[in-house]
Amino acid sequence: MGFWAPFYPVLFPLLLLSTRLVAQRSKKVIEIMESARLIDGHNDLALQLRRYFNNNLTAVDLKTLNKTNTNINKLKEGNVGAQMWSSFVLCSAQHKDAVRLTLEQIDVIKRMCTKYPDFELVTTSEGINKTKKIACLISIEGGHSIDSSLAALRMFYELGVRSMSLTHDCHTPWAESAAEKHNRQSHRNASLSKFGQEVVKEMNRLGMIIDLSHTSSNTAKMVLNISRAPAIFSHSSAYAICQHHRNVPDELLKMIKKNNGLVMVNFYSGFVSCQKLSNISRVADHFDHIKKIAGYESVGIGGDYDGATGFPQGLEDVSKYPALIEELLRRKWPEKELKAVLRYNFLRVFRSVEKVKEQLKDISSSEMEIPFEDVNNPCRLNLKKPFPNLGLSLSKTMPPALNIIHTVILYIVSIILIGY
Ligand SMILES: [Zn+2]
127 Cα: distance to centroid of ligand 1 (angstroms): 25
304 Cα: distance to centroid of ligand 1 (angstroms): 7
Task: Label the pairing between strands 262-265 and 231-233.
Answer: parallel
Among 40, 44, 317, 326, which one carries the catalytic annotation?
44
221 Cα: distance to centroid of ligand 1 (angstroms): 19
User: Is 42 annotated as catalytic?
Assistant: yes
Average pLDDT for the chain: 91
CB 278 within 8 A of CB 269: yes
Among 235, 244, 245, 286, which one carries the catalytic annotation?
235
User: Is 44 annotated as catalytic?
Assistant: yes
User: Is 306 annotated as catalytic?
Assistant: no
pLDDT digit string (tens) for 169-193? 999 999 999 996 455 455 555 699 9
Q: How confident is the model at residue 388 (pLDDT cuts 50, 70, 90)?
A: low
91 Cα: distance to centroid of ligand 1 (angstroms): 11
Among 40, 95, 120, 141, which one carries the catalytic annotation?
141
pTM, whole model, 2 decimals?
0.87
User: Is 286 annotated as catalytic?
Assistant: no
Alpha-carbon distance of 49 to 55, in angstroms, equals 5
Percentage of residues in the chain with pLDDT exceeding 70? 85
319 Cα: distance to centroid of ligand 1 (angstroms): 20
Q: How confident is the model at residue 110 (pLDDT cuts 50, 70, 90)?
A: very high
CA end-to-end distance (rounded Å), the chain: 97
**In the prediction, which pLDDT does 390 show?**
56
For residue 376, is pLDDT > 60?
A: yes
**In the prediction, which pLDDT does 418 show?**
55
For residue 14, is pLDDT > 50?
A: yes
Among 214, 244, 245, 289, which one carries the catalytic annotation?
214
179 Cα: distance to centroid of ligand 1 (angstroms): 11
Over range 111-125, report the average pLDDT: 98
Over range 12-23, report the average pLDDT: 63
Q: How confident is the model at residue 351 (pLDDT cuts 50, 70, 90)?
A: very high
Among 95, 168, 244, 286, which one carries the catalytic annotation?
168
Q: Residue 68: what residue type?
A: T
3 Cα: distance to centroid of ligand 1 (angstroms): 55
**In the prediction, which pLDDT does 355 show?**
98
3-state SS record for the chain: CCCCHHHHHHHHHHHHHHHHHHHHHHHHHHHHHHHCCEEEEEECHHHHHHHHHCCCHHHCCCCCCCCCCCCHHHHHHCCEEEEEEECCCCHHHCCCCHHHHHHHHHHHHHHHHHHCCCEEECCCHHHHHHCCCEEEEEEEECHHHHCCCHHHHHHHHHCCEEEEECCCCCCECCECECCHHHCCCCCCCCCECHHHHHHHHHHHHHCCEEECCCECHHHHHHHHHHCCCCEEECCCCECCCCCCCCCECHHHHHHHHHCCCEEEECCCHHHHCCCCCCEHHHHHHHHHHHHHHHCHHHEEECCCECCCCCCCECCCCCCCHHHHHHHHHHCCCCHHHHHHHHHHHHHHHHHHHHHHHHHCCCCCCCCCCCCHHHHCCCCCCCCCCCCCCCCCCCCCCCCHHHHHHHHHHHHHHHHHHHCC
Q: How confident is the model at residue 126 (pLDDT cuts 50, 70, 90)?
A: very high
Buried b (16+ CB within 10 A) or exposed e, 43-55: bbbbbbbbeeeeb
CB 169 within 8 A of CB 91: yes
**In the prediction, which pLDDT does 25 show?**
72
Alpha-carbon distance of 69 to 91, in angstroms, equals 23
pLDDT digit string (tens) for 396-415? 445 556 656 766 776 676 66
Q: Which residues contact 164 (CB under 8 A, 6 or more apart)?
A: 139, 140, 141, 143, 145, 146, 153, 156, 203, 208, 209, 210, 211
96 Cα: distance to centroid of ligand 1 (angstroms): 20
Q: Which of 138, 133, 30 is nearest to 81 (CA)?
A: 133
For residue 44, is pLDDT > 90?
A: yes
Q: Which of 133, 142, 209 is nearest to 170 (CA)?
A: 142
400 Cα: distance to centroid of ligand 1 (angstroms): 59
pLDDT digit string (tens) for 281-337? 999 999 999 999 999 999 999 999 999 999 999 999 999 999 999 999 999 999 999
Among 40, 198, 304, 337, which one carries the catalytic annotation?
304
Alpha-carbon distance of 271 to 304, in angstroms, equals 11
Alpha-carbon distance of 243 to 354, in angstroms, equals 34
**In the prediction, which pLDDT does 417 show?**
60
Q: Give the CA distances from residue 155 to residues 39, 208, 341, in Å, rounded to whole numbers and listed in that order.
A: 25, 12, 31
User: Is 176 annotated as catalytic?
Assistant: no
User: Is 245 annotated as catalytic?
Assistant: no
User: Is 235 annotated as catalytic?
Assistant: yes
Over range 385-395, report the average pLDDT: 59
